[in-house]
C-alpha cells in the first residue's frame, strides 16, 4: 500500500498550541500555491496510490472553485479521487459549507477529518480556535447531509482551563453524534507557539489521568484503541495513517510535505515563499533527505510499528539487534514480548516516548 499526501498550509488563524507548518492570513497565495502543487505533481508521473490524505493547515479554507481545482490536479496527475481506497480531507468547522462538502463528495472524497478539539466554547476561545460548538455541530450535520459516512473528529486532552469532568462530558456529547473515528491528542506545548511564550506547561499527571479515562470511555462505547492517539469503530481505522506506521511508501506534495520512497525519507522546505519560488523555476522543493541503514533502519521500523497497539512483529535479526534494549524496556514495564510480537503495555501507552527511545540512535557499539 502506498499513500499520497497533499499539504495545504493555509489557516484563518493560528491556534495557540500549533507548531505545524501553516500560515494565517495568506489566502491571496492559494491560487499560486495550487499552480505550484500542479507543477510539483508533474515531477512524479505514472505513480499510483491506494490512499489520499489532504492535510494542513486547513484545506477547507479553500473556496469551492479552489477545492475543485485541487481535486482536478489530483485526478489529472494521478487518478480520479473515487478510485482511491480511502481519500481524506481535513477541515475546520468555520470554513465548511454544504456546497464545499457536496463538491468534495462528488469528486470522490470519502472520509472527513473534523478539527473540534473541545466542546467547551470558553476553552475554544482560549486556545485560539475560530469556531464554537454550534458551528461544529452545524458542520457535522451538513457533512452527514452531503453523504459523508466516514467522519473522524479531533480532540485535545490536557488543555488548560478545562477540567477532566468537563472534557469527559464533552466527549460523551461527541459520541452521541456517532462518528466513525476519533483522534485524541495529548497537549504538547512546543517552542515557538503562543502557549510556549505564555509559559504554559503540560500537567503530565492531569493529562495521564484524562487519557486513561478516555481509553475506558471509548472502549465501553465500542471503539477500538488501535494506535496511541486513535480510536475507531471496527473497519474504520485510517488506512492512510496505518501505512505510515507500517512503514509503507508515501509521496508528499506541498510546502513542508514529507515523503518516504525507495528507502529514502525526504521533506520539502517549510518556507512557503521558498516553495513557491522553487516551483516557479521547476526546482525540487526537497530540503532534507536521508536513507537509514543497518540498526538505525531496523529501529525506525520497530518504533513506527510500536505505535499500533496490536504491536509489531519482529524479525529474528531485529530481536538480536535490539535484545538488550528490549530487555530493558520490558523490565521497566513499557512493553511486552510474546514470541515475536512486541507491543506496548497499558503503562507503555502513556509513556510511549520512553519506549521509542530504545530504537533511536546513536546506539552503543
Q: How far apart are CA 43 and CA 278, in angstroms?
A: 13
Name the grid cell of 45: 508521473
Q: How far apart are CA 250 and CA 240, in angstroms?
A: 9
Q: Which CATH number fits domain 294-359: 3.30.450.20, 3.40.640.10, 1.10.10.920, 3.40.50.300?
A: 1.10.10.920
| Residue at grid coordinates 510539483 | 40
Ranges of each domain in the chain: 3-245, 294-359
For residue 145, the tally of other CB atoms under 10 A from its CB is: 11
Q: Which of 169, 5, 150, 172 is nearest to 74 (CA)?
A: 5
pLDDT tens series, the chain, 365 aa: 599 999 999 999 988 898 888 888 899 999 999 999 999 999 999 899 999 999 999 999 999 999 999 999 999 999 999 999 999 999 999 999 999 999 999 999 999 999 999 999 999 999 999 999 999 999 999 999 999 999 999 999 999 889 999 999 999 999 999 999 999 999 998 998 989 999 999 989 999 999 999 999 999 999 999 999 999 999 999 999 999 999 999 999 999 999 999 999 999 999 999 999 999 999 999 999 999 999 999 999 999 999 999 999 999 999 999 999 999 999 999 999 999 999 999 999 999 999 999 999 877 65
Say if CB 17 and CB 193 are below 8 A apart.
yes
Name the grid cell of 228: 496511541
CA distances from 19 to 57, 90, 194, 195, 276 (A): 10, 17, 9, 10, 21
pTM for this predicted structure: 0.96
Q: What single DSSP character describes residue 85?
A: S
Chain segment 142-190, per-residue pLDDT in tens: 999 999 999 999 999 999 889 999 999 999 999 999 999 999 999 998 9
Domain 3-245 shares a fold with domain 294-359: no
Q: What single DSSP character describes residue 227?
A: E
* CATH homologous superfamily, domain 3-245: Aldolase class I (3.20.20.70)
Q: Which of 127, 226, 133, 239 is nearest to 182 (CA)?
A: 226
Q: How far apart are CA 266 and CA 258, in angstroms?
A: 6
Q: Which residues contact 202 (CB under 8 A, 6 or more apart)?
A: 158, 186, 187, 188, 189
Q: How far apart are CA 7 and CA 59, in angstroms?
A: 8
Q: How far apart are CA 126 and CA 288, in angstroms?
A: 35
Name the grid cell of 76: 489529472
Amino acid at each position: 500500500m502506498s499513500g499520497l499526501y497533499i499539504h495545504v498550509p493555509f489557516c484563518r488563524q493560528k491556534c495557540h498550541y500549533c507548531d505545524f507548518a501553516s500560515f494565517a492570513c495568506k489566502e491571496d497565495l492559494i491560487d499560486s500555491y495550487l499552480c505550484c502543487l500542479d507543477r510539483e505533481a508533474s515531477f512524479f508521473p505514472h505513480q499510483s496510490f491506494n490512499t489520499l490524505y489532504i492535510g494542513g493547515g486547513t484545506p477547507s479554507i479553500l473556496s469551492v472553485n479552489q477545492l475543485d481545482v485541487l481535486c482536478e490536479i489530483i485526478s489529472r496527475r494521478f487518478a480520479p479521487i473515487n478510485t482511491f481506497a480511502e481519500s481524506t480531507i481535513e477541515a475546520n468547522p468555520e470554513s465548511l459549507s454544504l456546497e464545499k462538502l457536496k463538491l468534495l463528495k462528488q469528486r470522490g472524497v470519502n472520509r472527513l477529518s473534523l478539527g473540534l478539539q473541545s466542546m467547551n466554547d470558553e476553552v475554544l476561545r482560549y486556545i485560539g480556535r475560530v469556531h464554537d460548538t454550534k458551528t461544529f455541530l452545524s458542520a457535522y450535520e451538513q457533512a452527514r447531509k452531503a453523504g459523508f459516512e466516514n467522519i473522524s473528529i479531533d480532540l485535545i486532552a490536557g488543555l488548560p482551563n478545562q477540567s477532566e469532568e468537563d472534557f469527559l462530558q464533552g466527549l460523551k456529547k461527541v459520541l452521541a453524534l456517532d462518528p466513525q473515528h476519533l483522534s485524541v491528542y495529548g497537549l504538547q506545548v512546543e517552542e515557538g507557539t503562543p502557549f510556549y511564550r505564555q509559559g504554559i506547561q503540560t500537567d503530565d499527571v492531569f493529562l495521564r489521568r484524562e487519557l486513561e479515562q478516555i481509553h475506558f470511555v471509548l472502549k465501553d462505547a465500542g471503539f477500538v484503541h488501535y494506535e496511541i492517539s486513535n480510536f475507531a469503530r471496527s473497519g474504520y481505522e485510517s488506512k492512510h495513517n496505518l501505512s505510515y506506521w507500517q512503514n509503507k511508501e508515501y509521496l508528499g506534495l506541498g510546502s513542508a510535505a514529507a515523503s518516504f520512497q525507495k528507502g529514502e525519507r525526504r521533506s520539502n522546505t517549510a518556507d512557503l515563499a521558498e516553495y513557491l519560488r522553487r516551483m516557479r523555476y521547476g526546482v525540487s522543493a526537497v530540503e532534507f533527505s536521508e536513507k537509514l541503514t543497518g540498526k538505525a533502519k531496523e529501529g525506525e521500523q520497530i518504533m513506527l510499528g510500536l505505535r499500533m497497539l496490536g504491536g509489531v512483529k519482529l524479525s529474528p535479526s531485529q530481536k538480536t539487534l535490539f535484545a538488550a534494549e528490549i530487555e530493558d524496556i520490558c523490565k521497566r514495564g513499557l512493553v511486552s514480548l510474546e514470541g515475536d510480537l512486541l507491543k506496548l503495555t497499558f503503562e507503555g501507552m502513556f509513556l510511549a516516548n520512553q519506549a521509542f527511545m530504545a530504537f533511536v540512535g546513536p546506539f552503543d557499539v
